C-alpha cells in the first residue's frame, strides 16, 4: 500500500540540462525565484515562461511529468487567485452581496497565479533533472564558504543524504509494523478523529524506537569505517564546472538582468 509512494521526482536522462553541474542548476533556480519577484508585468512573465519552456524542451522530460508536479499545488493556486479576486479594492466588475470582483483584483490574482505556476515549474526542473545525491553534493559545495560563519555545510549535506536514503526504509518498516498490529486486530481506518489518533500509537511507538536503534547502528557503522565528519574528506566524484556551465550561468544571468530591468 505504501509501495506506490515515490520519493523525489528525479527522472534520469542525458540531456544538456541533466549534464549541467548541480551548482549551476541551484544558482539558476535562485536567480529564477528572485527574477519572478522582480518582474512586474505580463510581458515579463511571458518572457520568463518562454525561458522555462526552452529549458523544459532542452531537458527532454515529457511534459506530463512536469505538469504532474503542479497538480498537488493546484489548491494553493486556486486559493491565491480567489483571494486576490475578491479582496482587492478598485473598479468593480460585478458584485454579489458583499463580495465584489474588481479589475485590479483580477489582474493581481492572475499575476500571482502565474508567478506561482512559473515558480513551481521552474524549480521542479531542478529536482527533475538532478539526482538527490547530486543535489546534496551541490548544496554542500555551495555552502562551503559559509563554514567561516559557522554553517556546518558537510554535516547538513550528510544529514540530507541519510534522510533521503532512509525514507524508503522507514516506509517499508511502517508497512511491516502496520501489518503486525493489524494481525493483532488493530484498525487504522475506522473511528473518529481521537480514535484514529489513538490507534496510531501502536504504529508510531515501534517506528520511533526502531528509527533510533537504526540511527545508533548507522552511527557506529560509520565510525567503524573511519568517518570523522567532513574534515579532510575527499570525494570520489568532484564537481567540476564545465564550459557549458559557465555559458548556462552567463545566459541565465544576462536573461534575468534584461528581463528584470526592463519588464
Partner 1 sequence: MSIRLENVFFSYLEGTPTNQAALRNVSLEIEDGEFVGLIGPTGSGKSTLIQHFNGLLKPDSGKVFVDGVDLTLKDTQLRLIRQKVGMVFQYPEHQLFGETVLEDVGFGPRNGGLSEEEIVKRVREALAYVGLDYEVLKDQSPFELSGGQKRRVAIAGVLAMRPSVLVLDEPTAGLDPAGREEILAEIKQLHDEGGITVVLVTHSMEDVARFADRLIVMEQGTIALDGTPLEVFGQAGRLKDMGLGVPEITELMYELKAHGLDVDTEILTVAEAEAEIIRVMGWGCQK
Q: Kindly tell me which residue out of 201, 218, 219, 258 binds partner 1, with binding defined by CB under 8 A.
A: 201
Among the residue ranges 61-69, 123-131, 163-171, 182-190, the one whose residues contact partner 1 (CB under 8 A): 182-190
Site string for partner 1, 210-239 (x = CB under 8 A): x-----------------------------
Output the smallest distance, CB 163 to partner 1, in A.
Answer: 21
Return the residue of 102, 158, 181, 248 that touches partner 1, per CB under 8 A. 181
Burial 125-162 (b: 16+ CB within 10 A, else e): bbbbbbbbbbbbbbbbbbeeeeeeeeeebbebbbebbe
261 near partner 1, rule: CB under 8 A:
no
Pairwise CA distance, residues 133 & 136, whole Å:
5
Q: What is the closest distance, in whole angstroms, from the C-beta atom of residue 174 to partner 1 in the complex?
A: 11
Whether 108 and 84 have beta carbons less than 8 Å apart is answered as yes
CA dihedral 230, 219, 156, 137 (to 10 degrees): 60
**Which one, of 155, 163, 147, lies nearest residue 230 by Cα?**
155
Alpha-carbon dihedral sign for residues 191, 195, 197, 203: negative
Q: Is 89 exposed, middle or buried (CB count within 10 Å of its CB: 0-12, 13-18, 19+)?
A: exposed
Q: What's the angle, vertex CA 90, arms to CA 87 and CA 92, rounded to 5?
A: 90
Give whichever of 11 and 186 is closer to partner 1, judged by the CB atom: 186
- The residue within the footprint of partner 1, chosen from 38, 43, 76, 205 (CB under 8 A), is 205
- C-beta closer to partner 1: residue 37 or 212: 212
Which of 40, 57, 176, 196 binds partner 1 (CB under 8 A)? It is 176
User: Cβ 215 to partner 1, closest distance in Å?
Assistant: 15
Assign 21 to helix, strand or coil. coil
Q: Is residue 209 part of the contact set for partner 1 (CB under 8 A)?
A: yes
Q: Residue 203: enclosing H or E segment and its boundaries?
A: helix 201-224
d(CA 114, CA 32): 14
Number of residues that bind partner 1 (CB under 8 A): 19
Residue 3 or 237 with smaller CB distance to partner 1: 3
Confirm or reject binding of residue 182 to partner 1 (CB under 8 A): yes
Cell digits of residue 142: 555551495
> 64, 71, 148, 184: which one contacts partner 1 (CB under 8 A)?
184
Among 20, 177, 256, 259, interactor with partner 1 by CB under 8 A: 177
Sole binder of partner 1 in the list 72, 185, 192, 232 (CB under 8 A) = 185
Sites of contact with partner 1 (CB under 8 A) = 3, 176-177, 179-187, 201-203, 205-206, 209-210
Amino acid at each position: 500500500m505504501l509501495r506506490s509512494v515515490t520519493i523525489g521526482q528525479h527522472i534520469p536522462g542525458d540531456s544538456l540540462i541533466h549534464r549541467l553541474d548541480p551548482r549551476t542548476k541551484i544558482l539558476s533556480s535562485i536567480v529564477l525565484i528572485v527574477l519572478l519577484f522582480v518582474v512586474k508585468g505580463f510581458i515579463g512573465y511571458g518572457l520568463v515562461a518562454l525561458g522555462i519552456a526552452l529549458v523544459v524542451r532542452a531537458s527532454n522530460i515529457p511534459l506530463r511529468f512536469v505538469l504532474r508536479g503542479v497538480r498537488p499545488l493546484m489548491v494553493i493556486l486556486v486559493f491565491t487567485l480567489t483571494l486576490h479576486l475578491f479582496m482587492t479594492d478598485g473598479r468593480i466588475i460585478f458584485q454579489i452581496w458583499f463580495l465584489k470582483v474588481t479589475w485590479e483584483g483580477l489582474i493581481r490574482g492572475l499575476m500571482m497565479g502565474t508567478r506561482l505556476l512559473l515558480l513551481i515549474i521552474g524549480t521542479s526542473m531542478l529536482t527533475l533533472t538532478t539526482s538527490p545525491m547530486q543535489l546534496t553534493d551541490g548544496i554542500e559545495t555551495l555552502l562551503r564558504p559559509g563554514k567561516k560563519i559557522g554553517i556546518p555545510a558537510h554535516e547538513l549535506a550528510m544529514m540530507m543524504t541519510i534522510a533521503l536514503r532512509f525514507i524508503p526504509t522507514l516506509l517499508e518498516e511502517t508497512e511491516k509494523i502496520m501489518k503486525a498490529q493489524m494481525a493483532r486486530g488493530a484498525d487504522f481506518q475506522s473511528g473518529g478523529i481521537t480514535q484514529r489518533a489513538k490507534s496510531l500509537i501502536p504504529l508510531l511507538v515501534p517506528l520511533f524506537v526502531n528509527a533510533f536503534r537504526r540511527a545508533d547502528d548507522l552511527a557506529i557503522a560509520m565510525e567503524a569505517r573511519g568517518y570523522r565528519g567532513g574534515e579532510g574528506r575527499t570525494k570520489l566524484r568532484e564537481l567540476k564546472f564545465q564550459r557549458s556551465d559557465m555559458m548556462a550561468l552567463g545566459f541565465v544571468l544576462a536573461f534575468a538582468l534584461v528581463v528584470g530591468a526592463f519588464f
